[in-house]
Amino acid sequence: MGFVFLTTGIALTLQAQSIDAIEQKVTEFTLDNGLTVIVIQRNIAPVASFVTHVNVGSVNEEIGKTGLTHVFEHMAFQGSTSIGTTNWEEEQVVLKELDDAYRKWLFENRSSSPDEEKLEELWTEFIRLREKAGEYVVNNEFSQIVEREGAVGLNAFVSADETAFFYSLPQHKTELWFALEADRFSNPVMREFYTEKEVIMEERRDRIDNVPFGRLLEEFISTAFSAFPYKHHPIGWPSDIEAVTIRDAMAFFERHYVPSNITISIAGDVEPEHIRRYAEEYFGSMPAGETPPRVMTVEPPQRGERRFVIEEESQPILLIGYHSVGMNHPDAVVMDLLSGVLFDGRTSRLYRRLVTDEQKALQIGGFNGFPGSRYPGLFLIYAVPNQGVGLDEIEKVVYEELDRIRNGDVATEELDRVRTNARASVLRGLASNQGMALNFAQAQNQRGSWRSIFTDLDEMEMVTVDDLQRVVETYFRKSSRTVGSVQTINNTDSNR
C-alpha cells in the first residue's frame, strides 16, 4: 500500500494510527450460521456500545410495501414471545385474528366501491380485537428492562440501505444485551402493530409533511429515479404504511433477518473471548436461512434533465442531483474528494464563493451517495439562498465551479487538504464507542470489511487532478441531473 508523503507531519501521525494500530484492538469472527461479530476494545470507562446492523433498507422493499423496513424496526422494540406479554399462548391467537380482521377491512376499504356499512362493521370488529390483544401487553417491557439496567442511547434507524439497532450498557451487563438481542431477533412478535403504525404516521408528519426540506427531499428522489427503489423515502408512502399487515412484517423479517445478513459490532471495555462465547451461546442456534433476495432493478439511463418546483408558503431551497456511483465503485473515493474540494470547510470552492465572497447563500453543501450508497445513488448538492437571492443565480455558480474542475482547474494543495481532513476525521471518529461500533459494522456489512474505513484513505492518496476531471466529465452531465426547488408563492400564475 502506498502513501504519498505530505510535507507536513500529519500523514505520519495519522498513519501510525491507521490499520496496524487499530488491528491490535479489533477482533472479528463469523459464526457457523454466517453471523459476523466485530469486537473493538476500548477501555476508557467500564462501558460498551452494542450495534446490530442488518443489511436491509428501504431499497429492499417491494412495490406496495414501502415503509415496511421501518415498520419492522419499530416492532423490534415491542418485545418477543416471552417479553412484553402476559400470556403468549393466548396472545398469538388473538394477534392472528386481529390481522385477519384488519385485512378484511383493508380489502373492503380499498375495493372499487366500498360498502360503508360493511366497512364500519369490519372496523368495529378490528377495534374489538385490538383491545383484546392489548390486554396481554406489558407496555414497553423490553425498553424498560434495558433502561432499568442502565442502558443509554437506546434507539435504531433505517435508511435506504440499512437498519441498525443500538444502545450502550455498563460492561458487566454484556450478557444481558446478548440474551435480549438474540431473543428479539429470534422470536419477534408484531405486538401493538396497528397502534405503532399510528406512531409512524406521526413520525412521517414530524419529518416529512411539516418540514419544507423533508417535503422537497421526498419529491426529489421520486423524480430523480425512474425504476430503482431509491425512489421512495424510507418512511414509506402513507397508503403503503396503512396497508402493511402483521403477516407482511413477519414475511419481511423471515426473508431479511438471517444471520448472513447481520453484523454485530461491540466497542468498549470488553474481552473478545467472552464475546465469542456469548455470541455462540445466544446467536449460534439462529438458523442460517436462505440468502436474502437481491435488488435486481438497474436504473435505466436518464434521457434528459428533470426539473420541478414546489410552490408553497415557505422560503426557497435548491437541490441538484446527478446520477452517480455506489460506494464499492472505484470512482466513489474520487467523488468523496470532489465533494471535499467543492463543499467541505470554509476554504472549499463553493463555500468561499457563494457564502463568503458573493454572499448569495446561507448554506451550500454536497456529497455523494444520496439517498443511499450501497447501490448507485445521486451526488446531491443543496443550497439555501440568502434573502432576496434567486435560485437561478446559485445554480449558475454551481455549474461554473463544476466546469472549472471539468477543465482541470484544481490545485494539488486542494486535494491534499481534503485528504488531510479525511484522515483526521477518521481519527476523531475513534473517540466514541457508539460511533466506532456503528462505523465498523456498516463498513463490514456493506463493504465487506471494516478495514475499508482505512483503506479508503489510502486510495484517496492515489487520486489525481485528472481523476477529478474525468469524473466530472463522466457523471456531471445535464441529461443525468435533476433540479428540484421550493419557491415561495408570490405571483399570479401559481395556480395555473
* Residue ranges in 380-409 that form contacts with other proteins under rule CB under 8 A: 384-387
Least distance from other proteins to the Cβ atom of residue 12, Å = 8
Identity at 445, one-letter amino acid code: N
The three-class DSSP label of residue 330 is coil
In this structure, what are the phi and psi dihedrals at residue 38, rounded to the nearest 5 degrees? -120, 135
C-alpha cell at 253: 423479517
| C-alpha count within 13 angstroms, C-beta hemisphere, residue 365 | 7
Question: In the window 324-363, what residues touch other proteins (CB under 8 A)?
Answer: 345-347, 352, 356, 359, 362
User: Which range touches other proteins (CB under 8 A), out of 5-13, 26-34, 58-66, 370-378?
Assistant: 5-13
In this structure, what are the phi and psi dihedrals at residue 303, rounded to the nearest 5 degrees? -95, -10
Least distance from other proteins to the Cβ atom of residue 416, Å = 8
Cα–Cα–Cα angle for 251, 256, 258, nearest 5°? Answer: 110
Q: Does 201 bind other proteins (CB under 8 A)?
A: yes
In this structure, what are the phi and psi dihedrals at residue 166, rounded to the nearest 5 degrees? -155, 155
User: Which range touches other proteins (CB under 8 A), out of 86-94, 289-297, 364-372, 462-470?
Assistant: 86-94
Which residue's CB is nearer to other proteins, number 141 or number 161?
A: 141
Identity at 87, one-letter amino acid code: N
Q: What is the largest CA-CA distance in the chain?
A: 79
Q: Binding other proteins by CB under 8 A: which of 52, 60, 168, 482? A: 168
Residue 292: asked if its preceding bond is cis (omega within 30°), the reply is no
Residue 48 CA to residue 266 CA, distance in Å, equals 7
Which residue's CB is nearer to other proteins, number 168 or number 445?
A: 168
Question: In the window 415-474, what residues touch other proteins (CB under 8 A)?
Answer: 416-417, 420-421, 423-425, 427-428, 430-433
Q: Binding other proteins by CB under 8 A: which of 50, 72, 88, 454? A: 88
The three-class DSSP label of residue 204 is helix
Least distance from other proteins to the Cβ atom of residue 123, Å = 16
Measure CA 305 to chain center: 27
User: Which range touches other proteins (CB under 8 A), out of 156-164, 295-303, 378-386, 461-469?
Assistant: 378-386
Measure CA 17 to chain center: 28
Rg of the chain taking only CA atoms, in angstroms: 25
Question: In the window 11-30, what residues touch other proteins (CB under 8 A)?
Answer: 13-14, 16-17
Least distance from other proteins to the Cβ atom of residue 336, Å = 15
What would the x/- binding string for other proteins be over residues 45 to 84, using CB under 8 A?
Answer: xxx-----------------------------x--xxxx-
Least distance from other proteins to the Cβ atom of residue 171, Å = 6
Least distance from other proteins to the Cβ atom of residue 106, Å = 17
User: Which range touches other proteins (CB under 8 A), out of 121-129, 138-146, 221-229, 289-297?
Assistant: 138-146
Residue 215 CA to residue 325 CA, distance in Å, equals 25
Tell how strand 262-268 and strand 36-41 pair up: parallel
Q: Does 212 bind other proteins (CB under 8 A)?
A: yes
